[in-house]
Amino acid sequence: MSSPTQDIQEILITEEQLKEKVKELGQIITKDYQGKDLVLLGVLKGAIMFMADLSRAIDLPLSIDFMAVSSYGSSTQSSGIVKIIKDHDINIEGKDVLIVEDIIDSGLTLSYLRKTLLERKPRSLKICTILDKPERREADVKVDYCGFKIPDKFVVGYGLDFDEKYRNLPFIGVLKPELYK
Ligand code: 5GP
Ligand code: MG
Ligand code: MG
């Protein structure tokens, strides 16, 4: 029998830790967005698991939308040149938009996305990510809500892929290096 877990060298964040953290973030966001017009804007595909869990941890009326962007570069590194593959459907003008991300690495993708979305005149625009690799930052982006700061390792699971695989792992893990080198 073959399982994606066999390809994992080390579990960085367990399913339990993810659950706890998402609940905590949901409570903080629920407080911060009282009386606002919240739109959760997920970045496909990496943010799908986090979006599904976070949205259910927020006890407020809200809307959910998604964007898909591609950043030119290798599968493990981004270049900062971003193309919108799928735009959001909801008009965000005057709305309180919270970008929901899987991971912020160089910050180049998010920095581009932020600039593009601000031109569309949301009332507010903030960023929520489940993972952050601060060591790798190249663009100056302010992360408003962050789940976990992690070291500079390539991780998969909880929505994050390598070559479109491993998104379904319920934890965040480090791949065995022989699989991507
Ligand atoms: P940035 O523009 O911040 O460098 O890149 C962000 C995107 O790169 C993430 O949304 C994700 O798709 C990808 N990425 C960055 N680090 C990792 C990682 O450790 N694992 C995976 N699977 N993707 C990553
Ligand atoms: Mg992402
Ligand atoms: Mg990817």
pLDDT at residue 78, as a whole number: 67
19 lies in which domain range? 2-70+77-177
The Cα–Cα gap between 76 and 159 comes to: 15
- The closest of 122, 147, 155 to 11, measured between CA atoms, is 155
pLDDT at residue 76, as a whole number: 64
Span from the CA of 1 to the centroid of ligand 2 (angstroms): 31
The Cα–Cα gap between 142 and 161 comes to: 24
pLDDT at residue 177, as a whole number: 87
The Cα–Cα gap between 175 and 181 comes to: 11
pLDDT at residue 129, as a whole number: 98
The pTM score is 0.95
User: Which of the listed residues 9, 44, 105 should we mutate to test ligand 1's pocket, taking the one with most ligand atoms within 8 A of CB?
Assistant: 105
Span from the CA of 168 to the centroid of ligand 1 (angstroms): 16
Residue 152 among the catalytic residues: no
Span from the CA of 104 to the centroid of ligand 1 (angstroms): 6
pLDDT at residue 14, as a whole number: 98
Q: Is 12 in the pocket of ligand 1 (CB under 6 A)?
A: no
Query: Which one is catalytic: 105, 140, 152, 163?
Result: 105
Tens digit of pLDDT per residue, the chain (181 long)?
899 999 999 999 999 999 999 999 999 999 999 999 999 999 999 999 999 999 999 999 999 999 999 876 666 666 667 889 999 999 999 999 999 999 999 999 999 999 999 999 999 999 999 999 999 899 999 999 999 999 999 999 999 999 999 999 999 999 998 887 7
Whether the ipTM is more than 0.90: the answer is: yes
- Structural domain count, the chain: 1
* DSSP codes of every residue in 104-143: ESSSHHHHHHHHHHHTT--SEEEEEEEEE-GGG--S----
pLDDT at residue 73, as a whole number: 64
- CATH number for the domain that contains residue 170: 3.40.50.2020
pLDDT at residue 75, as a whole number: 62
If you search the block for the tokens 């949901």, which residue do you land on? 26
pLDDT at residue 33, as a whole number: 98
Write the residue with the smallest CA distance to atom 10 of ligand 1: 103
